[in-house]
Amino acid sequence: MVLKTELCRFSGAKIYPGRGIRFIRSDSQVFLFVNSKCKRLGASNSRSINKMVLKTELCRFSGAKIYPGRGIRFIRSDSQVFLFVNSKCKRYFHNKLKPSKLTWTAMYRKQPKKDIAQEAAKKRRRATKKPYSRSIVGATLEVIQKKRSEKPEIRDAAREAALREIKERVKKAKEIRTKAPDANEDLLPVPKTETEKR
């Protein structure tokens, strides 16, 4: 009886039927290894095998990575799926503990900005002033040009005149307030009744 043997992908040793480790890559390519050592070394050797990309998911409680075939899947009555790394995370989730209060969770580390992996250097943008012309409501082009061509002495004089006028108005308002008699002066106090005195 002749046995069909295959060769190890890493060491080149003979692999008899029912022996060895069969490794199927993500692109459905099959590799055979004699033992786990060959598989480990063969998988790390980039020439023999391209690195495999695993689809990882995140723990709903701690935020840790969950690799395929790992973790605990919990399906709620409203058919919402929760994935947990371990029973500790599942237990804390069911006890309604807040992950932001536990120091070992990703949520806690993001809160006080301790998560180094997430911190990306923000590009500083220089604020540049863009020139634009504001539209002046109710002003015609002639009025705007006249104001621009005014001499500073004339502008200062107009400003002082406006300030003087405002001060005079304030003074007049104060005088009127001081001269006006109090509305409560002509009222006499009402004597208290016996029931109010007690």
Helical H segments across the chain, by residue range: 36-44, 87-94, 106-110, 141-149, 152-179, 194-197
pLDDT for the residue numbered 163: 94
The pLDDT score that the predictor gives to residue 44 is 62
Containing H/E element for 66?
strand 65-66
pLDDT in tens, the chain (198 residues): 677 888 888 888 888 888 888 887 777 778 888 888 887 777 665 454 455 678 889 999 998 999 988 999 999 999 899 999 999 999 999 999 999 888 888 888 887 666 555 455 556 677 777 766 666 667 777 878 888 888 889 889 989 999 999 999 999 999 988 886 655 556 666 667 666 655
171 three-state secondary structure: helix
Q: Cα–Cα–Cα angle for 191, 195, 198, nearest 5°? A: 100
Tell me how far apart the alpha carbons of residues 12 and 15 are, in angstroms, rounded to a whole number.
Answer: 9
Q: What is the pTM of this model?
A: 0.35
Cβ atoms of 114 and 120 within 8 Å: the answer is no
